[in-house]
Structure 1
Amino acid sequence: MRYFIIGDIHGCFHTFKNMLEKHWNHNEEILIQLGDLIDRGKKSPQMVEYARELHGNFSEKVFFLRGNHEFEMIEHFTKEPNHNWLRQCGEETLRQYEVANRDCESDVKWMKDLPLFWENDYLFISHAGIAEEASDPFLEDDEYSVIWNRSRLKNIGKLQIIGHTPCRNPSYDENSNSWNIDTAAAYSGYLTGVKIDSLGRVIEFVRGNTDLRDK
């Protein structure tokens, strides 16, 4: 079985859908998206709806991970108002939900069940990676956690694939054996996917130019 891993989407529903229709072979590839489905782009509610449909239809072959933007939206609805999230992009996301007439709280419940990582003997996939400085990389509100980290990654003996920190092109770090595939789809960049073989080796990168309907 091969793997098709896709970076930060940030509300770019049409861009993501285009990429899957052109490049995903669901008979031969496990699809893994490494978090940040929402915010920034124009189609966050539609993106979450589509993600939930995909996971429901291909539960053994489709995995969505939790990113820091999902974490912040969860915090906003389950604790006190998250003013940082609201100020940065949450107000716009909530407006999109209102226009789409979609239930935020149902999506938040789904987000709470998203895993923080996916791994096998060769791959470790998370939103921001295992940091050298992390005492507990799975403590979600820690700055070095797998949803927030922007520091040097640890070499864990597996290929790490991450997003979270935008880069102009997919970026490889030899010391940690890691690829960053967040190419800023919701800004002036594009969506990146990477195909990996059964032994954790990169086959190819897939570029999806951002659909104008998502900007």
Structure 2
Amino acid sequence: MATYAIGDIQGCYDELLQLLEQFGFGDDDRLWVAGDLVNRGPKSLETLRFLKSLGKRAKVVLGNHDLHLLAVHYGTTTAKRHDTLNAILQAPDRDELMDWLRSRKLLVYDKALNYCMVHAGIPPHWTLKQARKRAKEVEWVLRSKLACEYFKNMYGNQPDCWQPGLEGWDRLRVITNYLTRMRFCDADGRLDFSAKEGLESQPEGFLPWFRQPREARDLQIIFGHWAALEGRADAEHVYALDTGCVWGNALTAMRLEDKAMFSLPCQGSRQPDGPHGPQQPAVLIPN
């Protein structure tokens, strides 16, 4: 039995199946998915159905695109120009899929493996205990009758820093932003949302969250969200798995037991105006 963690799929269902086949994903193996299951790629509906069919073998955290899909489903926002969500929104099993999706977590932790998985990251000034507790606050609301109100109040960049006295939607919004949207922050955990490219876009006074001194420095953290890193965080105990398949690059997975890395180049056109990936087999990337 092995555990594989995979980066942002974003509807690249064909690549997902090929990658699983290439590294021999078996009936006893487990799959962790670091969020952004859907959107921008061509087969978001098929991706959701497949991951749901894995049952307890799949551990999935929510990404910002997944939360956006839920907000569109519940009518609290409208789809964006480049969204590719129509097949889900018109599917006969739409409600069942959305109930499954909103019951997923924002943070997954396995004590035996000593791995934690989130979509964007864990703010450097939070301990693992704090991160788990605050993730559960959002998870509880998502599964409750307050879910629609949450989606109405989810969007926004403020507050941009955690404060212990935060309450209500401001509190839930900053927790959500840390776990699903964070890239750069300062030493106090103040977020910057203006820079979305690679490390060269680092704003003055800010660092990638994983390069700040971290409370959970001994914890192994898996994250996605940041395709511009191209899978290279270059920080101890931190593993970036979003390698931008939906942008024509690759889909990447890591076997947690031995940190073996696998990558499958994009198999065709993806995001509008994006590049075309060559037909190539998955490769094992040396450690």
TM-score interval for Structure 1 and Structure 2 normalised by the shorter chain: 0.7 to 0.9
Q: Residues of 2 paired with 1:88 and 1:150: CA distance?
A: 24
Structure 1: tracts of 5 or more residues without a match:
none
1:87 to 80, 86, 103: 80
The alpha carbon displacement at 1:205 in A equals: 0.8
The one-letter code matched in structure 2 to 1:126 is: V
1:62 to 58, 65, 81: 58
- Structure 1 match to 2:30: 30
- Structure 2 match to 1:111: 101
Q: What does the per-residue CA deviation read over 1:155-194, in whole Å, with 9 as the maximum and x for residues that have no partner?
A: 512110100111353113426x311110111112110001
Contact 2:4–2:30, Cα closer than 8 Å, also in 1: yes
- Structure 2 match to 1:171: 232
3-state SS, counterpart of residue 263 of structure 2: strand
Larger relative contact order (C-alpha < 8 A, sep ≥ 6)? Answer: 1
Q: Residues of 2 paired with 1:4 and 1:24: CA distance?
A: 11
The alpha carbon displacement at 1:51 in A equals: 1.3
Question: Which structure has more strand as a fraction of its residues?
Answer: 1
The one-letter code matched in structure 1 to 2:64 is: N
The one-letter code matched in structure 2 to 1:211 is: Q
Contact 2:248–2:268, Cα closer than 8 Å, also in 1: no
- Please list, as runs of the form range in 1=range in 2, the aligned pairs for 1:176-191 lying within 5 A after superposition: 177-191=237-251
Coordinate RMSD, CA, aligned: 2.5
Structure 2 residue 124 is matched with structure 1 residue 132 = yes
Q: Residues of 1 paired with 2:60 and 2:270: CA distance?
A: 20
- Structure 1 match to 2:173: 141
Structure 2 residue 8 is matched with structure 1 residue 8 = yes
Which deviates further from its counterpart, 139-148 or 30-39?
A: 139-148
Structure 2 residue 68 is matched with structure 1 residue 72 = yes
Contact 1:168–1:189, Cα closer than 8 Å, also in 2: no
The one-letter code matched in structure 2 to 1:37 is: L
3-state SS, counterpart of residue 80 of structure 2: helix
Contact 2:108–2:117, Cα closer than 8 Å, also in 1: yes
Contact 2:249–2:265, Cα closer than 8 Å, also in 1: yes
Change (3 A) 1:54 1:188: same
3-state SS, counterpart of residue 251 of structure 2: strand
3-state SS, counterpart of residue 212 of structure 1: coil
Q: What does the per-residue CA deviation read over 1:123-151, in whole Å, with 9 as the maximum and x for residues that have no partner?
A: 11111110126686525532642112213
The one-letter code matched in structure 1 to 2:102 is: K
The one-letter code matched in structure 2 to 1:131 is: P
3-state SS, counterpart of residue 98 of structure 2: helix
Contact 2:3–2:256, Cα closer than 8 Å, also in 1: yes
The alpha carbon displacement at 1:27 in A equals: 5.2
TM-score by length of 2: 0.62
TM-score by length of 1: 0.81
Structure 2: tracts of 5 or more residues without a match:
139-171, 185-208, 272-287
Q: Residues of 1 paired with 2:81 and 2:24: CA distance?
A: 32
Q: Residues of 2 paired with 1:43 and 1:189: CA distance?
A: 17
3-state SS, counterpart of residue 59 of structure 2: strand
- Structure 2 match to 1:120: 110
Aligned residues: 200
Larger Rg: 2
